[in-house]
Structure 1
Amino acid sequence: DNALAETVNGLYKSEVIDYLKENWTSVNDVELATLEWVDWFNKTRLHSTISYVSPFEFEKRYYDNLILSGIAA
């Protein structure tokens, strides 16, 4: 099932490609816009289903709160 991938691809296309394409002069501009969007999507965007924190912050909190008892060093 590719539903999640298609959703992310659709967001990327509508938010980056369709919106900014008139300002680009080379492939490097597309690459930079893509990198900026991926960084925003993963680190800054607030997500309603995870208490309005970024996915990056949510994952950090999860791993900070993990109890690692019983694991050999």
Structure 2
Amino acid sequence: MGSAGDSYDNALAENLWMLIKTECIRGRTFATRAEADLALFEYVDGFCNSRCTQKRLGYLSPIEFEEGHSADQATAKRTNPSPVTPS
């Protein structure tokens, strides 16, 4: 991250806005602000947050990561059942 006034200061935010404009907004006309807000919400929450791959998740999408994690947890429970405590 650069210091204030550097060209790198807003690079990530500008990249996000470019994606939103080209993939979600460009070429569409919205009748109301609420319709535009809904389209933006559906794009960010429904597409970007769930399907875009992320480096910190091993280049998996959040959905793929969660599915793998759930499968790993189920396998771990089958192979290492929790000990039963006497009552």
TM-score (norm 1): 0.59
Structure 2 portions without partners, runs of 5+: 1-8, 70-87
1:58/1:4 CA distance change after superposition, 3 Å: farther
Q: Does 1:31 align with 2:37?
A: yes
CA distance in 2, matches of 1:59, 1:8: 22
Aligned-pair Cα RMSD in Å = 2.4
Inter-partner Cα distance in structure 2 for 1:36 and 1:48: 19
Identity level (%): 30
Q: Work out which structure has the larger RCO, using CA pairs closer than 8 Å and 6 or more positions apart in sequence.
A: 1
Structure 1 segments of 4 or more deviating over 2 A?
Answer: 47-51, 56-61
Provide structure 1 residue ranges, at least 5 long, that are not aligned to the other structure. Answer: 62-73
Q: Alpha-carbon deviations, 1:14-69, whole Å to 9, x = none?
A: 111113x23x2111110000000111111122x27543x21x358866xxxxxxxx
Q: Which is richer in helix?
A: 1
Number of corresponding residues: 56
